[in-house]
Amino acid sequence: MLFATGSLAGRIEAAEVSLIEQIGHAASRRLPDGEAFCQRIGGGVAMFAGHGAPSNKVAGLGFDAPPDESSLDELEREFDKRGAALQVEFASLGDPAVPRLLTARGYRLIGFENVLGLALDDESLERAGAGISDPVTRIERVRVEETPTWRDTVITGFLTPDVFDGPPSHESFAREAIERTFGDMMAVSGLQLYFARREGEIVGGGGLRLCDGIAQFSGAATLPQHRRQGVQSALFRARLRDAAAGGCDVAVVTTQPGSKSQENAQRFGFAVLYVRAVMLREPR
């Protein structure tokens, strides 16, 4: 089983920072001048990509020097100017000085998310059945012209989540906001998209990003009428194969605690590496 060290968490959070930063640059090209915001802070990155965007957050704090008070003052002014809440996702293996500082500044804890990982070695891949191909569910890469169909499929799956025995999500998003964020994601380096088909019909989709040896699993969803038929299993196996072939040594996926997504990941050998505390500051 993969063991979570501070160094490994730092690598994973650096990949997340890179992802958020590239989404932020794409949003800056899409939005009117001055509306988007993307800035490094304390080893992490802060991003605003329009009201209601899932990518509005601060990621990666705690693996470099903590942000100083003046940097936070400037960041908070930028979000206040936009009338936007400031959400920080802090990894539990980061410097504990960061949440202490944020709490003193009025940030409140609103939820958690789990970061799960799997070593991409031969033994782990064999246990996960990465070499197995589903005879019914076919996984294929998405062509550029098929991107709108992929986006529509995955968003429909996201907006009809499975019922699970766990805490409710701390956030929800409008379809239009998710569409804009997915549009911005298309500019991210190392991103690969997948369709799942059964009898020729598109039944689900998923995403994979390769970044400095970290394989980020994301954007996986199955249409409601096709669930419980092995679609996610087929998507996991295909992405594990491609992640290993792409030279990555660790695969990671972020899930809501207790969710079906977490259950699916753990069935393939992923283990919880650490938790991100989600802290929020309301605009003032």
* Per-residue pLDDT reduced to its tens digit, 110-169: 999 999 999 999 999 999 999 988 889 999 999 999 999 999 999 999 898 887 777 778
Q: What angle do CA 264, 54, 92 make, to 5 degrees?
A: 65
Q: Are residues 19 and 83 in the same domain?
A: yes
| 268 and 173 share one domain | yes
Same domain, 215 and 234: yes
**Domain annotation covers residue 95:** yes
Does the residue 78 lie in any domain? yes
In the predicted model, what is the mean pLDDT of residues 241-270?
A: 96
In a domain, 194, yes or no: yes
**Structural domain includes residue 48:** yes
Mean pLDDT within 177-204 = 95
Evaluate whether residue 123 is within a structural domain: yes
Same domain flag for 148 and 258: yes
Beta strands in the chain (DSSP E): 37-41, 44-48, 57-59, 86-91, 108-119, 137-141, 191-198, 201-211, 214-222, 250-255, 271-281
Q: Quote the pLDDT of residue 118.
A: 98
For residues 55 and 145, state if they share a domain. no
The pLDDT of residue 172: 81
Q: Give the predicted TM-score (pTM) of the model.
A: 0.94
Same domain, 64 and 187: no
In a domain, 262, yes or no: yes
Q: Residue 40: what pLDDT?
A: 95
- What confidence category does residue 42 fall into, taking pLDDT thresholds of 50, 70 and 90? very high
List the domain range (segments joined by +) for residue 100.
Answer: 6-113+277-281
**Pair 89, 217 in one domain:** no
Burial class, 203, CB count within 10 angstroms (exposed 0-12 / middle 13-18 / buried 19+): buried
**Percent of residues, the chain, with pLDDT higher than 70:** 100
Q: Are 245 and 84 in contact (CB under 8 A)?
A: no
Is 1 among the domain residues?
Answer: no
> What total of structural domains would you count in the chain?
2
If asked whether residues 136 and 256 sit together in one domain, one would say: yes
Output the pLDDT for position 166. 75
In the prediction, which pLDDT does 218 show? 93
Residue 57 has pLDDT above 80, yes or no: yes
Instruction: Note whether 153 and 255 are same-domain residues.
Output: yes
Q: Do 207 and 101 belong to one domain?
A: no
Confidence at 259, pLDDT banded by 50, 70, 90? very high
pLDDT at residue 64, rounded to an integer: 87
* pLDDT score of 66 more than 90: no
Q: Are residues 106 and 121 in the same domain?
A: no
Contact 8, 117 (CB under 8 A): yes
Query: Does 128 reside within a domain?
Result: yes
pLDDT tens readout for residues 2-32: 999 999 999 999 999 999 999 999 999 999 9
226 and 267 share a domain? Answer: yes
Write the CATH number for 264: 3.40.630.30
Structure tokens at 52: 């209601």
Check residues 272 and 170 and name the one with the higher pLDDT.
272
| Mean pLDDT (the chain, rounded) | 94
pLDDT band at 65 (very low <50, low <70, confident <90, very high): confident
